[in-house]
Structure 1
């Protein structure tokens, strides 16, 4: 019988009379129904599955989901079969979905978004405790109960027990690519962290009306999830550190449920966000180190790695280009929302560390320790690689040119128009400093530095220059580690992201972490970075985002 035909007279399992179709998705059709045995309204989800083996597995997993008891998880009343088709009987939540609300009323403010996020963290915690992964956390699967505002996570129809594969025998999985984590796109076994990535994307959607990875094509979505810069929307305001932590591409660096709950709970209660554990910390007993993965298109011999947490070595891994190609083939053939891809790098940007012989751009007396010991000269960002990967003298910087009109500065920042021919937003109180090649804007305590370097474009482009600098990193930065260089884009232009940790200027200050983005534009290569102590990465990343979002180069 047709799944879309009127079902007023259909009674399944001898008691559930199907009445009105409430919605349909890739995994099933949801009906308003009436439980004739208990005399109550219910929701019935008719699963759209293939063979008997798939149906049996879905029923088994649905019964596991039924054991999850939490006020923000939809209540599963029954799991039945009718005409060899599985059905899940659930509580009927009167009210539309979060997706409906965003369509009708527009984006939410930070307070309401935090409330919803906190509720969903509780739901995911309960599911994960039972060993169940949701795997499709998105606004359409979040119900908003009318009258009470209760947040309900529903549609565990494609949930899987933790540890099971996320790929079907056909090489595809069903889900929503714009909310799917990089590791799931890789086709690897995914853990609870994958649901937390989806939650981070959902919070962005709540604040703006759409996923940060929304693109016009599936290929564009894949590229956005794996490679593109991830910068939380300006509307996120105080929630930016939480969203950043959830959208860490390395699952081992992603915020856990508890780590995200604490600041969101404080914000919902007090209206302010406390400090929180930051991505980039060393893995602990509950956060094992994750293997690094090379981006698509790179050979196994290329030194392209996932950024590791401090204290953990980065390890080159073979590329997984075949997985991405297979995903696109599956989509083209089946027409389903099926994807396999790669685990990419966190593309929030990176920054350049000190260069031996160059004065530290800090008002504090701390000196760059690398300048005190013999080492190879620093590889300038415009260097070109040879067989021995040596540095070449930088070309003279182009004559200063006035930039186009500067973009508005976010709260707490001011726009500066630099005499070197660019404009950007820097935090209030940061002071300008220079050396022979670079411009710095330095925090009052000297701990955080925003750096900008403008040079003529070179044949190797930003990616080649960053790779040369990365190769020379151990010579230029004592304790150089957790380093990675990945290709990306900036405002639609080819770019490269470089990230690393090093020992820092002084033992008292401790290690520093650097985020650096370089790109070519109008015949010049622009290099923008932020460097800060590892304990102040939230500030550093906010400053990095503000600098990149507001940066206007010379015309």
Structure 2
């Protein structure tokens, strides 16, 4: 075939791969006399012309930003050019095999080798997230292992940036491989660092088990299972089981962070190989490779020291429900109907002193509602009106939600027609006739939000306000000027188990807001990710 010359410099030599977003060529840089990889961006045919053009422009912008990454576990981007009405990304050429090719030819990898690869990819993701870049397409095809053992993450063609547009087109539509797309991204079409970590978990699961965690016959069957079922049982993971379980949590709030996953991967990388169970099914091709030897140099494939966790504003959307609306399989779309909306709780008042000690009370009846807005709405409560989205809104809300701008100095997503009122410094939104509540409280900034929630936990369990208390999580969040989330469950006065997530965010040196979300425990799973949309939408206005 005739070798095309791109941008007067890059001569295409061999087609080395194709995918849903384009073709990758091995090319020769005629100016510097070196081999490079050149990716031609080919938008899917089903996209409208306006969307195709938007994708081309976004690809160029995002690739240029991704070129800032300088990390040994990231394929370097050299250039972005426009030729023959298509954008082309010029990248480092790495003579290697993808993890996908390794699984297909050699069978599943050993847990230790998989963990070493995972450390390298995790280091790449942390570098990208620190630079504000999300990958959005981590999968075995995009993880390359060179002959000398170097592991690199490639193909940032779907990459986006924190603070940028959340979705490619309308709500619920995403691009990517359904076997390696995080549940919240398949559901809502938006991403944050936690979606990349889920995809990392799915990639490592596939490497060690020989198939992805949701191996189904079609994209739609895969996405349906992803929305409602746990991952397939692990048979070969051994010491990788804890980190895979933590990364593959459906609820992004319960998913392992990069900092939490790294020591688990390091432990798995040095663990002795487990005994091979003769009853286990063989890997692809009929060969069990539980103790497969590493290629030359692969024993040294460890991630370099990781950068500190990125201070990112996650782009997480909303919309969790109980049925899946199936769309184009190429679009990899899952849009869940809005069945119920989880609610939030806010603090009733400023705490004057940090409490001490105390354990959970045994009484089945709390003496009073521990948080604001949990009692019946007052007569003065008014319905939340539907209003147009504000200028600069980064994403669309799910049906039945609107934007509320509050005199207390914030804007947030809220359900239309829910009852709205204030209690002191708390803005309350309550479902008419229901138990679900969303609330926002303004307060002074907290020096350490995590310690603040720990103190509140001791106070409320110590005075009997939270009978049957169960902590899910108290952890710091990189948001605004620092924050922390407290998620827990308890029994209300009627003996019903409740569930809440409460985010305390310092928005300035002297001001903070607590965004809270409450629902019955039975309804939490179908409501929890609305809290992610609410948190994503929350914006101080003063």
With normalisation by structure 1, the TM-score equals 0.52
Deviation at 1:144? 1.3
Structure 1 residues 342 and 107 mapped into 2: Cα distance closer, same or farther (>3 Å)? Answer: farther
Deviation at 1:288? 9.9
Deviation at 1:190? 1.9
Aligned to 2:176: 175
Aligned partner (choices 278, 284, 296) of residue 321 of structure 2: 296
For the Cα contact (< 8 Å) 2:191–2:315, is it kept in 1? no
How do residues 372-521 of structure 1 correspond to structure 2 at under 5 angstroms?
478-480=467-469
For the Cα contact (< 8 Å) 2:187–2:319, is it kept in 1? no
How far apart in 1 are the matches of 2:310 and 2:128?
21
- Please state whether the residue corresponding to 1:190 is helix, strand or coil: coil
Structure 1 residues 156 and 37 mapped into 2: Cα distance closer, same or farther (>3 Å)? Answer: same
Aligned to 2:58: 57
For the Cα contact (< 8 Å) 2:12–2:27, is it kept in 1? yes
Alpha-carbon displacement from aligned partner over 1:92-130 (angstroms, at most 9, x marks no partner) = 111221100100000001100100100000000011111
- Please state whether the residue corresponding to 2:70 is helix, strand or coil: coil
Question: Are 2:162 and 1:162 aligned?
Answer: yes
Structure 1 residues 192 and 92 mapped into 2: Cα distance closer, same or farther (>3 Å)? Answer: same
Alpha-carbon displacement from aligned partner over 1:334-389 (angstroms, at most 9, x marks no partner) = xx242234599xxxxxxxxxxxxxxxxxxxxxxx985xx678xxxxxxxxxxxxxx
For the Cα contact (< 8 Å) 1:78–1:90, is it kept in 2? yes
- Please state whether the residue corresponding to 1:135 is helix, strand or coil: coil
Structure 1 residues 170 and 341 mapped into 2: Cα distance closer, same or farther (>3 Å)? Answer: closer
How far apart in 1 are the matches of 2:211 and 2:337?
22
Deviation at 1:287? 10
Aligned to 1:13: 7
Deviation at 1:263? 2.2
Question: Are 2:41 and 1:47 aligned?
Answer: yes
Which range is displaced more, 114-123 or 89-98?
A: 89-98
Aligned to 2:215: 214
Aligned to 1:235: 236
For the Cα contact (< 8 Å) 1:9–1:17, is it kept in 2? yes
Deviation at 1:230? 3.0
Question: Are 2:23 and 1:34 aligned?
Answer: no
Aligned to 1:106: 107
How far apart in 1 are the matches of 2:30 and 2:3?
13
- Please state whether the residue corresponding to 2:334 is helix, strand or coil: coil
For the Cα contact (< 8 Å) 1:182–1:343, is it kept in 2? no
For the Cα contact (< 8 Å) 1:175–1:338, is it kept in 2? yes
How do residues 234-273 of structure 1 correspond to structure 2 at under 5 angstroms?
234-269=235-270, 271=272
For the Cα contact (< 8 Å) 1:55–1:85, is it kept in 2? yes
Aligned partner (choices 15, 19, 23) of residue 25 of structure 1: 19
Structure 1 residues 95 and 502 mapped into 2: Cα distance closer, same or farther (>3 Å)? Answer: same
Aligned to 1:456: none
How far apart in 2 are the matches of 1:502 and 1:197?
29
Aligned to 2:327: 329
- Please state whether the residue corresponding to 2:96 is helix, strand or coil: coil
How do residues 56-205 of structure 1 correspond to structure 2 at under 5 angstroms?
56-146=57-147, 148-169=148-169, 172-187=173-188, 189-205=190-206
Aligned to 2:479: none
Deviation at 1:217? 2.2
How far apart in 2 are the matches of 1:343 and 1:58?
31
How far apart in 2 are the matches of 1:339 and 1:78?
32
Structure 1 residues 10 and 165 mapped into 2: Cα distance closer, same or farther (>3 Å)? Answer: same
- Please state whether the residue corresponding to 1:248 is helix, strand or coil: coil
How many residues were matched structurally? Answer: 319
How far apart in 2 are the matches of 1:157 and 1:99?
18
Deviation at 1:330? 3.3
Aligned to 1:304: none
Bigger RCO (CA 8 Å, 6+ sep): 2
How far apart in 1 are the matches of 2:34 and 2:259?
37
Which ranges in structure 1 are unaligned for 5 or more consecutive residues? 1-5, 274-283, 298-320, 345-367, 376-474, 484-498, 504-512, 514-555
With normalisation by structure 2, the TM-score equals 0.53
- Please state whether the residue corresponding to 1:22 is helix, strand or coil: strand
Deviation at 1:38? 0.4
Which range is displaced more, 264-273 or 61-70?
A: 264-273
Structure 1 residues 11 and 249 mapped into 2: Cα distance closer, same or farther (>3 Å)? Answer: same
Aligned to 2:277: none
- Please state whether the residue corresponding to 1:77 is helix, strand or coil: strand
Which ranges in structure 2 are unaligned for 5 or more consecutive residues? 44-48, 275-308, 339-359, 366-463, 473-486, 492-498, 500-542
For the Cα contact (< 8 Å) 2:13–2:25, is it kept in 1? yes
Alpha-carbon displacement from aligned partner over 1:156-195 (angstroms, at most 9, x marks no partner) = 1111112334432255221011111111112253210000
Alpha-carbon displacement from aligned partner over 1:244-295 (angstroms, at most 9, x marks no partner) = 111111212211111111221233246599xxxxxxxxxx997999999775
RMSD: 3.6
How far apart in 2 are the matches of 1:248 and 1:287?
20
How far apart in 2 are the matches of 1:75 and 1:232?
36
Which range is displaced more, 47-56 or 242-251?
A: 47-56
Deviation at 1:13? 0.8
